Structure 1
Amino acid sequence: MEFLKQNPFVVLSPEGKEVENTSAETIHKLFVDVFDDFKSIPEQGHVFLNGPRGSGKSMMFRFLLPDCQLIDKKKTQYNELPFFGIHIPIKLTSINNPEFDLVKDFGDYIFNEHILTMYFAELIFNSFTTLNYNNLEKSTDDLTAEIVAFYNKSFVRKLKLCGWNNQEDYDFNPKNPKEAFDIISQICFEVFTEATQYLKRNVANKSKGDQSSNVIYNGALCDYLSFLYPILKELKKLTIFPNKPIFLLVDDADNLSESQTVVLNTWVSYRSNAEVSLKISTQLNYKTYNTISGTNIDSPHDYFDINILSVYTSSKAIYNTRIRQIVQKRFEYFFERIDIDPEYFFPQDLNQIEEINKQKKLIAENFEKEGRGYRENDDIQRYAVSNYIKSLKGNSKSGHTFSYSGFNQLVNISSGIIRHFLTPAAKMFNNQYRNLKLKDPAIRYVDITQIPPSVQNEEIRDYSIKQIFDEYDKLNQDINQIKSDPKYLSKVERLRNLINGLGGLFHSYLISDRSERRVFSFAISGYPDPDLIEIINLGIRFGYFHKHTIGNKEGTGRTRLYILSRILAPCFFLDPSSFAGYKFFTSEKLLQATYRPDRFIREMTISSSDLGDLTLFNNQLDEN
């Protein structure tokens, strides 16, 4: 891929079609299973894969598609694979037009299941048109004959049972497998379109107040059990496909309407995973786990639940190793060399390291008289960077000259989201290429073998600040959210205030004389206010917070721990190097921060003490 040959850190974004358009060979070369639970996805069973935008979900699904699996499993035939993956992206298109929610009296679940079924079917058959039909064990003529038999005996029969009566409109005499699947895909699309047009017309009539002109629907009504599931079972009998589970890789299921989400949950509840497994990715905004019957689907009873960010918050070492592997694979592809060390490519600021080492030496020399911890190394870890940032206050405002550079520092800042590493790294690479090109027009992309600390620091600061300003502007322009939730804009503004309050307070702690200065997390003491939890959950959904559990303050149970994303560290001049400590707040104080962050910072700084602060060790975290 040319874009990967111009910049090794380019993000393979599904929105830009890079993931779909990238060759299987390239995907296979670059893929790294970024978390231990990845092996659970290819196993039989329904799976929910949860993580913020940019955490690698689409790349994982791309790796599970047949072309990549042929390479990974060293096979030549599709029917030799242990499963057959089909990508089902849920995008903001006609499938989930918010205006459909206006029509609640037209068989809500029945119609939404029909729409979802035909949307899936159209994508499934369309995906078969992209398969490689060369070098098959059977001739293409024989396979075409199999598909014709499937069409007549299974597809048409099932569709007729669901009320379809348009067979005479189609002359099914395909010349090859691709043409056969293309015709079937087109039929599914037209059945889908007939249903959505019916809804649109009735929505239009209702919006005009014309209840007497409701359109009558006489088309098919398909569902999972009577159409999609048996069709998929019959497809597995075609010689090109393995007689193994079909994986429907449902990407970004948060985009489904609430009714469609209920329908999808109902499919999960059927436990048809021996034949068809649903692998469902979400961006932490899945609307409900209800089914049509009113019951909930539960993990692990009905599905296996995976949170991608758990690898970061439970073990930074594992996440660092994964990012290192991703970078090394990209270097190998880009430079066609394997001897470039990521730490060499992203060097630390040596002057800063020297100054921090001086602070470490001072702490060690004064430990016997002034030490606060049990061990000398504890004080060095807690206070060296803090003291250095404080020393910068005399040279510039708020420690602005602290350098966020070095591979490990950039990994920490990415906070478990791969895109938070790759996107700024790509900008650093482009910046350095531009700088060198001005000095030497003959410079090539592959001549860049190191990014100076100053360039790293400039780009990661800019990226961090944009998370507060540019990303919030995008949230404020989300028309669908604004329509569906009258309080949405207020929630976004209050979330921004909360983040500014916490970020500002944590910076004041860092440059204070407190014993625990590196605070990045907080918990709520007492009963958590529902209004506050709603704001915090919005922050989790957008990737500003991660959540886990810890022992509560009274020692009688467990409570939620909320970790501020380290991508905000450069914006608030924080030290992203460890999980450090956490602070208990009352709901009242945090609610104050959602309205008046400056007052929250001022009052919490004045009343600041180490009471209510605890040091956070990795083994205290429970994933939840």
Structure 2
Amino acid sequence: MDMVGFSELSVNPFSVKTPENLTPQEIVDLFVPYPEYKNLQLSGHQFLHGHRGSGKSMMLKMMTPEAQCITRSCSVSNLPFYGAYLSIKTTEINATEYVRIENEPSGYILSEHVLTTKLLGALFLSVKQHCSELWALNEDNVSLFYKGIFSKRLSYVGWEDDIPLGNETLDVVRFIEVIDSLQAETVRYIKRRAFAKDYLPYNGPLLGFQDVLLPVVDGLRRNGLIPNCPVFFLLDDSDNLTLQQTKVLNTWVSYRSTDKVSLKISTQMNYKTFSTTSGIRIEAPHDYSEINFTSVYTGSVKENYPKLVEEIVRKGGCRS
């Protein structure tokens, strides 16, 4: 057997690589869009329901800035939306320690704080990776954003900035450090609660969707630090949220703040509830739209399924 033949046989066309392990270019090369993918790129809260391996993570990964820039052959500043991806199953917010606060009224407040910090962390990490040119072009606006919006909004909810801002140049790392410290403080508290017999009060800042996350997103946009377009939070594997966290997320969906922020939420058919923290149920199509992957194959696009399979095989063959 010659070396060319050996090389061809050494590539397994049936090997499994999860979207988390694919490069942006591989995601673009392998992605075969469903008809519903076009609607997913529009502003509005949306649920993606489907069993494991049905393509939900691939769709969300395709909506990240790196994949969109490749697909559209454009810069970040020209994107029609900015997607910040967060995999719930890879975070600590579904740890068993959080069950301890499930039956406490204050648990909803802490759950919103946890979700808010996680989304802000995902956003600023994405900004660090993709918006360096925008920050360089709008360098003077960075300190204005930090003083006038970021630190001010955090101070409203109990945060004290222990590093006075001098004449040094701010970069996105400073913002990531602040969010990381908030997350670490919460994790420490949750772990201490697991060992405490009596009630242990939480004395740290408490961030929220409307009082912190939305103003921060709007401030980033108005100061030219992210593209002037809607921000999509791409929440993967949301079944892994606790019941309280799920109700908090549903409450955010009920706000319908789709002109600034949209939530794209994937589930593996085990989403715990569609009730909000106040007990009101969110409904489609008033509060959100949805894609159910169990019906995509056999539902309204049944006649196009052979074409879909053909395209998947073609792209897989090209890759191998």
Task: Check the 8 A contact 1:117/1:228 in 2, yes or no.
Answer: yes
User: For 1:242, which of 224, 227, 237 is the aligned residue?
Assistant: 227
Code of the residue aligned with 2:309 in structure 1: it is I
Q: Is 2:155 aligned against 1:163?
A: no
Larger Cα Rg: Structure 1 or Structure 2?
A: 1
Task: Check the 8 A contact 2:44/2:288 in 1, yes or no.
Answer: yes
User: For 1:183, which of 162, 174, 177 is the aligned residue?
Assistant: 174
Structure 2 Cα separation of the partners of residues 84 and 277 of structure 1: 10
Aligned position for 2:109: 110
SS at match of 1:6: coil
Structure 2 Cα separation of the partners of residues 288 and 12 of structure 1: 31
Code of the residue aligned with 1:80 in structure 2: it is N
SS at match of 2:162: helix
Aligned position for 2:319: 333
After superposition, the C-alpha distances for 1:433-478 in whole angstroms (9 at most, x for unaligned) are: xxxxxxxxxxxxxxxxxxxxxxxxxxxxxxxxxxxxxxxxxxxxxx
The structural deviation recorded for 1:154 is: 0.8
User: For 2:12, which of 7, 18, 29 is the aligned residue?
Assistant: 7
Structure 1 Cα separation of the partners of residues 218 and 51 of structure 2: 33
Structure 2 Cα separation of the partners of residues 193 and 268 of structure 1: 27
Structure 2 Cα separation of the partners of residues 95 and 170 of structure 1: 31
The structural deviation recorded for 1:64 is: 0.7
Task: Check the 8 A contact 1:144/1:174 in 2, yes or no.
Answer: no
After superposition, the C-alpha distances for 1:71-114 in whole angstroms (9 at most, x for unaligned) are: 22231x21211111110110154212223222333601111111
Structure 1 Cα separation of the partners of residues 137 and 131 of structure 2: 15
Structure 1 Cα separation of the partners of residues 107 and 27 of structure 2: 40
Aligned position for 1:393: none
Task: Check the 8 A contact 1:79/1:240 in 2, yes or no.
Answer: no
Aligned position for 1:70: 69
C-alpha distance 8-156 of structure 1, shift in aligned 2 (>3 A)? same
TM-score by length of 1: 0.47
* Bigger relative contact order (CA 8 A; separation at least 6): 2
After superposition, the C-alpha distances for 1:319-340 in whole angstroms (9 at most, x for unaligned) are: 2211210121222233xxxxxx
Aligned position for 1:550: none
The structural deviation recorded for 1:48 is: 0.3
* Paired residues for 1:300-339 under 5 Å: 300-314=285-299, 315-334=301-320
Structure 2 Cα separation of the partners of residues 237 and 291 of structure 1: 31
C-alpha distance 101-172 of structure 1, shift in aligned 2 (>3 A)? farther
Q: Which runs of 5+ in 2 are unaligned?
A: 1-9
Structure 2 Cα separation of the partners of residues 232 and 154 of structure 1: 10
* Paired residues for 1:36-51 under 5 Å: 36-51=35-50
C-alpha distance 132-156 of structure 1, shift in aligned 2 (>3 A)? closer
Task: Check the 8 A contact 1:150/1:234 in 2, yes or no.
Answer: yes
Q: Is 2:222 aligned against 1:194?
A: no
After superposition, the C-alpha distances for 1:265-294 in whole angstroms (9 at most, x for unaligned) are: 000000001110000000000000011121
Aligned position for 2:125: 126
The structural deviation recorded for 1:52 is: 0.6
Q: Is 2:83 aligned against 1:85?
A: yes
Task: Check the 8 A contact 1:251/1:280 in 2, yes or no.
Answer: yes
C-alpha distance 142-173 of structure 1, shift in aligned 2 (>3 A)? farther
The structural deviation recorded for 1:317 is: 4.1
Q: Is 2:48 aligned against 1:53?
A: no
Structure 2 Cα separation of the partners of residues 225 and 300 of structure 1: 22
Task: Check the 8 A contact 1:268/1:278 in 2, yes or no.
Answer: yes
SS at match of 2:126: helix
After superposition, the C-alpha distances for 1:156-178 in whole angstroms (9 at most, x for unaligned) are: 0000001101x1246677657xx
TM-score by length of 2: 0.89
After superposition, the C-alpha distances for 1:140-168 in whole angstroms (9 at most, x for unaligned) are: 64433322221121110000001101x12
After superposition, the C-alpha distances for 1:543-599 in whole angstroms (9 at most, x for unaligned) are: xxxxxxxxxxxxxxxxxxxxxxxxxxxxxxxxxxxxxxxxxxxxxxxxxxxxxxxxx
Identity %: 38
Number of aligned positions between the proteins: 310
Structure 2 Cα separation of the partners of residues 81 and 64 of structure 1: 10
Structure 2 Cα separation of the partners of residues 74 and 44 of structure 1: 21
C-alpha distance 92-73 of structure 1, shift in aligned 2 (>3 A)? closer
User: For 2:94, which of 96, 107, 110 is the aligned residue?
Assistant: 96
C-alpha distance 27-238 of structure 1, shift in aligned 2 (>3 A)? farther
The structural deviation recorded for 1:202 is: 2.1
C-alpha distance 62-331 of structure 1, shift in aligned 2 (>3 A)? same
Structure 1 Cα separation of the partners of residues 11 and 175 of structure 2: 40
* Paired residues for 1:276-425 under 5 Å: 276-314=261-299, 315-334=301-320
Code of the residue aligned with 2:56 in structure 1: it is K
Code of the residue aligned with 1:307 in structure 2: it is N
SS at match of 1:306: strand
Structure 1 Cα separation of the partners of residues 167 and 232 of structure 2: 29
Aligned position for 1:18: 21
C-alpha distance 257-173 of structure 1, shift in aligned 2 (>3 A)? farther
Structure 2 Cα separation of the partners of residues 70 and 141 of structure 1: 19
SS at match of 1:288: coil
Structure 2 Cα separation of the partners of residues 259 and 250 of structure 1: 16
